[in-house]
Structure 1
C-alpha cells in the first residue's frame, strides 16, 4: 500500500510517500521551508505563505514521486486543519485535483493528531492511555489518548502558545526567527547569572492543566525596558535572559504534563510539535519522568518530524482510513479541534 501525505497548514510545503508492508517505510519525504521568506516579518504572513505553497506544491510533488507509477498510490492524506486557512486550502485544492485525476480516495487529516501519531513510525506498540502534549508556534495543548482516534482535551493555552511566546521574546531580544531555536542557541552559551533574572512560571500551581504564556512575554519586556541600553545589547544579558525564558517554559510544560499523567494514571507521555525538538526540554522531561514516574514510557519524534512535515500526515491517513471522503466534500477548518 502506498500513501501520499500533503501538508500546508502554515509555512512549510511538505509532501511524503510511505509504503506499508510489514511496517512503515519512507519512500520519500520532502519539506520546502519558507523560514527565510518570513524571517523579516518575525512571523508567518499568511497570504505570502499561500502564494509560496501554490508555487512549491507541484515542484515538491514531482521530486517526491520521481520514478513512481502514480496509479499505484492507494490513498492521499491532506491536512484539513487546524492552521492558516489560505494555506490549508492550497494543499486541499492541490489534493482534490490530484485525487480526481488519478481516482484516489482522500483522508482529511487533523494536524494536531498527526503531530502525535508520527511517534508510531517505528513501532505500532501502543501504550494507552497516554498523556499527549502538542507544543508549537500555534498550539500548546494537553489531551488524553485512550486509543488512536479517541481523545479528550484536558488542558490548553489561554493565550499565547509556547512557540509563539518564544517568537515574541526573540523579537524583543533582537534574535532571529523562528524564536525557539534562536533562544535555545543563546541559552546554551550562557555562562553565569550576572543579571540575576527571575521570571514567573505562569499558572504552574493552579489546579487545572491549562497554560498561559502572555504574562511571561510581558515580564521579559518589563525587565528589558528597565535595563540600560548597553546592558540590553550585551551578549551576557541576551544569553542569560534566553536561558531563563527557556527554563520558565520548560518548567511549566513538564509540571503540567506530569500532573496530568499522574491524575489520569496514563502509561505513556507523548510529545509532538516544533517546540518538542528542543533538546533541553527533552532531556529534562526524561530526567523528571525517570525520577517521578519511572513506570511511564516517554515518546518524542526525531527533530525533523517534530516540525511540520507530510510524513505525519501520511501516517495519520493510514490510521484513519475509515474517514475516507470524496474530493468534493473535503474542506479546510482553521480551528479544527482534536
Structure 2
C-alpha cells in the first residue's frame, strides 16, 4: 500500500534515479507513456531538485512502498490561488496501476490545503497525445496557450527534434470530475434545477424536510449552501451540463446526498459519494465519515454498506419531517478502511 509524504534532502539520490528512469532512456520505455523518444540528457538537475524540496512554496510529494520510492510529483505555489503541477513520476515497472492518479489527487489536496489553490496548471509536450488525454480524463482541460520548450537549457534535456513545445492544461480544484459527473460549487443560477429535485416526492422521501412547495424554500436552501461551501466539501451534481442533485458535507464529516429520480438506478449516486468521500479524506484530518440514514431507506443503506460503512447506532424520533417523527441508523467508515478499499 502506497504512503505519501513530502520529500526531504535525504531522498535526493533516490529521487534523481527514479525521475530519470521514468523519463529518459530505455528504462522509460517500460512504462505505458514516456518522452524518451523526444529527449535525451537530464530531466532535472540535482540543484533544481534540491531547490524543489527545500524552497518555501514548493513541495515534492513522494510515494513509498516500504523503503522504496515508487513515484513523485512536484507542486509550486504560483500565488493568486494558482499552483503548478509538474514532474509526475511513477516507476516504469509500476505504471498503469493507479499510482499516478493517486499522486495527482495527493498533489491537488496539498495545494488546496496548504497553498489555498483553486486552480492547478501544468504543461505537457505537445507531442505526448496519450498523456494529454490521460490528464483530460483526470479533469484537466486544454487551454489555447502554448509555451516554448527551453531547447538551449541542458537542465531540461536535449531535444531529439526541433519542434518541441508545451501545451498548457488547467483544472479548477473547487470541482470534482468523475467518469460521468461534474461535482461543483452551487451558484445562484442553479435555483430552477434544484427546485426540480426538491419538489419530487420520491427524492424527498428520505430528506430532512418535506418536498418544497415554493421557489423561495429552495432559494433559502441554495443560499445556505452557497454561504457554507468555502470548505470545498459540498457540491451540486451535474450530468451532461444538467444539475441532477447534491452530494457532500454541509457539516463534515456527516455525508448527505440527493438525486433526481430520473437518474436513479444508474450507479450515479455511488459515483458521486465515492468522489466526495475521497475529497473529505484528502482535504481534512477527519478520522471517519459518518451518515444518518432512515432505517427504511434500503437503497441508501445498501450503498453505504457497499462502500465499507458499518452501522454504529440507532435512535428514535431524530427528525420531525412534516409533523411525522423519523428514526435514524447511524453509519461510519474510517479513514483506514476507506484507504484500504481504494488502494486495493
- Scaled by the length of structure 1, what TM-score is found? 0.29
Structure having the higher strand fraction is 2
> Which structure is richer in relative contact order (CA contacts within 8 A, separation 6 or more)?
1
Structure having the higher helix fraction is 1
